[in-house]
Amino acid sequence: MSQPIITLITDFGSADHYVAAMKGVILGITPRARIVDITHDVAPFAIAQGAYLLAQTYAHFPKHSIHVAVVDPGVGSERRAIALEAAGQTFIGPDNGIFSFITSREKHKARLITNEKYFHHPVSRTFHGRDIFAPSAAHLAAGASFSSLGKRIRDFVTLDLSAPQVLHTDHFGNIITNLRAADLETHASLTIAGVAITEKAENYAQMQQGKLYLIEGSSGYLEISMHQASAAGKIAAAAGMPVEIKSQPRSRKPVTKAE
Amino acid sequence: MSQPIITLITDFGSADHYVAAMKGVILGITPRARIVDITHDVAPFAIAQGAYLLAQTYAHFPKHSIHVAVVDPGVGSERRAIALEAAGQTFIGPDNGIFSFITSREKHKARLITNEKYFHHPVSRTFHGRDIFAPSAAHLAAGASFSSLGKRIRDFVTLDLSAPQVLHTDHFGNIITNLRAADLETHASLTIAGVAITEKAENYAQMQQGKLYLIEGSSGYLEISMHQASAAGKIAAAAGMPVEIKSQPRSRKPVTKAE
Amino acid sequence: MSQPIITLITDFGSADHYVAAMKGVILGITPRARIVDITHDVAPFAIAQGAYLLAQTYAHFPKHSIHVAVVDPGVGSERRAIALEAAGQTFIGPDNGIFSFITSREKHKARLITNEKYFHHPVSRTFHGRDIFAPSAAHLAAGASFSSLGKRIRDFVTLDLSAPQVLHTDHFGNIITNLRAADLETHASLTIAGVAITEKAENYAQMQQGKLYLIEGSSGYLEISMHQASAAGKIAAAAGMPVEIKSQPRSRKPVTKAE
């Protein structure tokens, strides 16, 4: 590909020089790389949130895209650097579970990143985004082989996201859960932070002001939303909170399961 | 053009994956597109503010640029998707008035966007930025004709911005009105939120600390500013507030009109 | 170079149209320019902070990169516009000290920017980022010679950053000083805002929760950090605060100087 795509997702914010330093390093190695920011506003050290946001994005990018994910509280410790091949794309980052959604969904191959020829020297103890992850991605974009990064591994860290929970609350205050519409019986409700949400909507325009609704979000997950207002603000929901599913029959007759 | 320019302006913020999903969809269709962010920090659902910010930007971009504007409280309802050709450029977004400044200033042709061949499928009910607007723009950038988007229309929604008002308050606290310098007599003052501003300045360095000044901003509109301080903070001004023009003679003699 | 790199660092924020207007002007002059944001979140008018952030970034970019720095409280006054050649790169901005780290570190040549052929007309009194700095950079990227910008100068404004001080507090709450690790004796401590910091760490994982540590940051400067918490929040440190170095012997025997 003439203009390889490298995306960046970090918890670095956008007020410092950190993201730009990564971009400079990439462009120094691969001047034709196209760099796309996913976001740099993952909450500091919030690995699961970064994992969710990356999971919502990568499938929209073309084959051969390289995604660099740096939410990395363990930088400088013994935590490993890893790379994945999955879904025809490559993923680069710390071995702390940030690729959990991808490895649970997609066929994948994992390797350690240990090839110091690709690193930016001297390697700092606190900024592997600049010194290890970005330059390794740039060398892949320039044509280096996946296998040249380091040895094949089959053990890597994954997050346990099986329990129903809040994955993220977005800019509009939508509360995104890890449940699918099909997980919910027709008359069941979700309970978050003690508040039960029963009403369902198909789009925001259907919603009455001031009420909470269940809606199938653009991600395919069940979300809790309000009409032009913040559901997350109303019920003080935050990433990581548990979600409870309650059967809630409308009559005393047994509820018929949705197909 | 070898590298078509697509700009994005939304109220999506930059902490979620929404903007990146749009970029991925665009690059999947038109790998050579150059994507430029105008801003993603339009206040949620603030159509008039988005309209103003787009109006201040498009004229600085080259001919053939394609601008995608998504401030879209009516997503999923019956509101239509439209495209405009104006000023040698193309504009893509919801039919809710976000192009009002452009249609009032520039010769234009409008079309509906209904050609599902260009959409990202399945089309969600809540994220037309990703599923309709971004991919339609990308297909135009790849060479699709404007007329292939959908049928010609002459009716579209416009905002009424004729009354003197605050259009926007910026990062520095400058209060931007929809008045031109020529709208103001020599000795007239503007009143916003009960505060009359009479003093005029030609640049920030001329201003005394702590005082409010009228200044012709870089947009050509009259702005209210302070020396290294926030005028919007001082008088609690916000987008949409009415602005009153008052004649304010300096003597009892009749004021001579400015030429 | 086929795709010249132009970086932007400003205090414009990202909620307005200002940065996008600069990008539009650049792409109108040099359609192949690759524009990279360093940050637009320099604190308003904070020249020293902008100078620090630029100083941490430029060396990671390839030769021939052009850096446009606009933290410009004196816009529209008599302050001059200047350009520097240093480190094989070019720097464009107001003559207010924003290039102080670069001129103190690198061999350099300075010129005034007075060639109105390169400006965006009409030149506003309040937005030289769009009207002077961005288009001058774009003309250089398109092949204009450095000497065509204006006459050679040897006098330009520099900031006095010799006193030990806080340069910046970052997104994670790390407090970045202008001291090097070598500036500190083995048993010496730093005092900021009345708080002495003595403990040293080599990476974040070594740190105990709740304690302040001295660490050599990725910039090479001494920083004060905490384990997954904000050091700047804990001791209310801010850019510009003085830093005191205190000898702090662990015993009554004289301290041996570190090599």
Query: What digits encode the pLDDT tens for the residues A166-196?
Result: 999 999 999 999 998 888 777 788 999 999 9
The mean-pLDDT minimum among A14-18, A42-46, C83-87 falls in A42-46
Q: Are strands A81-86 and A108-112 parallel, antiparallel or unpaired?
A: antiparallel
Residue in chain A nearest B78 by alpha carbon? A205
Beta carbons of A222 and A177 less than 8 angstroms apart = yes
Burial letters for C204-237: b for 16+ Cβ neighbours within 10 Å, e otherwise?
beebeeeebbbbbbbbebbbbbbbebbbbebbeb
Confidence tier at B203 by pLDDT (50, 70, 90): confident
Contact list, C205 vs chain A (CB under 8 Å): 74-77
Per-residue pLDDT reduced to its tens digit, B166-186: 999 999 999 999 998 888 777
Is B24–A203 a contact, with Cβ atoms under 8 angstroms apart?
no
Confidence tier at C258 by pLDDT (50, 70, 90): very low
C90 contacts: CB under 8 Å, gap ≥ 6: C64, C65, C66, C67, C83, C84, C137, C140, C146
Report CA B28 to chain centroid distance, whole Å.
Answer: 28
Of A18, A45, A125, Cβ closest to residue C203: A125
DSSP of C111-173, one letter per residue? EE---GGGS-SSPPSS-HIIIIIHHHHHHHHTT--GGGSS-EES--------S-BEEEE-TT-
Contact list, C53 vs chain A (CB under 8 Å): 16-17
Is C36–A24 a contact, with Cβ atoms under 8 angstroms apart?
yes
Per-residue pLDDT reduced to its tens digit, B107-163: 999 999 999 999 999 998 889 999 999 999 999 999 999 999 999 999 999 998 889
Beta carbons of C177 and C164 less than 8 angstroms apart = yes
Per-residue pLDDT reduced to its tens digit, B67-80: 999 999 888 888 99
Residue in chain C nearest B229 by alpha carbon? C44
Q: Are strands B175-180 and B152-153 parallel, antiparallel or unpaired?
A: unpaired
Of C56, C57, C171, Cβ closest to residue A12: C171
Q: Distance from B183 to chain A by nearest Cα, in Å?
A: 36
Q: List all chains that touch chain B, counting a touch as 3 or more CB pairs closer than 8 Å.
A: A, C
DSSP secondary structure letter of residue A129: I
The mean-pLDDT minimum among C54-68, C109-123, C224-238 falls in C224-238
Q: Residues of chain C whose C-beta is under 8 A from some C-beta in A?
A: 1, 3, 5, 7, 14, 34, 36-42, 53-54, 56-58, 60-62, 65, 168, 170-172, 202-206, 215-218, 228
Q: Distance from B132 to chain A by nearest Cα, in Å?
A: 13
Give me chain C's average pLDDT, please.
91
Confidence tier at A250 by pLDDT (50, 70, 90): low
B242 to A221, B102, B165, B192: CA distances (angstroms)? 42, 22, 4, 7
Mean pLDDT value of segment C197-224: 89
pTM of the model as a whole: 0.91
pLDDT at B254: 45
Is B12–A60 a contact, with Cβ atoms under 8 angstroms apart?
no
Mean pLDDT value of segment A61-70: 98
Contact list, A218 vs chain B (CB under 8 Å): 18, 124, 126-127, 130-131
Contact list, A60 vs chain B (CB under 8 Å): 20-21, 24-25, 28, 130
Q: Positive or negative CA dihedral for B148, B153, B157, B163?
A: positive
Is the predicted pLDDT of residue B250 greater than 70, yes or no? no
Of C38, C170, C215, Cβ closest to residue A20: C38
Contact list, B125 vs chain A (CB under 8 Å): 202-203, 215-216
Is the predicted pLDDT of residue B256 greater than 50, yes or no? no
Q: What is the ipTM of this complex?
A: 0.89
Is B17–A36 a contact, with Cβ atoms under 8 angstroms apart?
no
Report CA B222 to chain centroid distance, whole Å.
Answer: 16
Is A73–C218 a contact, with Cβ atoms under 8 angstroms apart?
no
Is C16–B62 a contact, with Cβ atoms under 8 angstroms apart?
no
Q: Distance from C61 to chain A by nearest Cα, in Å?
A: 4
Q: Which helix (H) or strand (E) holds A23?
A: helix A18-29
Contact list, B213 vs chain C (CB under 8 Å): none
Mean pLDDT value of segment C231-259: 72
Confidence tier at B248 by pLDDT (50, 70, 90): low
Residue to mutate among B12, B14, B16, with most A CBs inside 10 A, is: B16
Contact list, A170 vs chain B (CB under 8 Å): 13, 15-16, 18
Q: Distance from B217 to chain C by nearest Cα, in Å?
A: 7
Contact list, C204 vs chain A (CB under 8 Å): 73-77, 126
pLDDT at A248: 58
Contact list, B1 vs chain C (CB under 8 Å): 31
Contact list, B80 vs chain A (CB under 8 Å): none
How many Å apart are CA C190 and CA C179, to the nearest integer? 10
Is the predicted pLDDT of residue A139 greater than 70, yes or no? yes
Of B20, B32, B126, Cβ closest to residue A37: B20
Of C1, C41, C56, Cβ closest to residue A15: C41
How many Å apart are CA C129 and CA B185, to the nearest integer? 30
Of A14, A41, A218, Cβ closest to residue B124: A218
Beta carbons of A87 and A106 less than 8 angstroms apart = yes
Contact list, A76 vs chain C (CB under 8 Å): 202-206
How many Å apart are CA B58 and CA B90, to the nearest integer? 10
Tell me the count of B-C CB pairs closer than 8 A: 96
Is B57–C20 a contact, with Cβ atoms under 8 angstroms apart?
yes
Tell me the count of A-B CB pairs closer than 8 A: 95
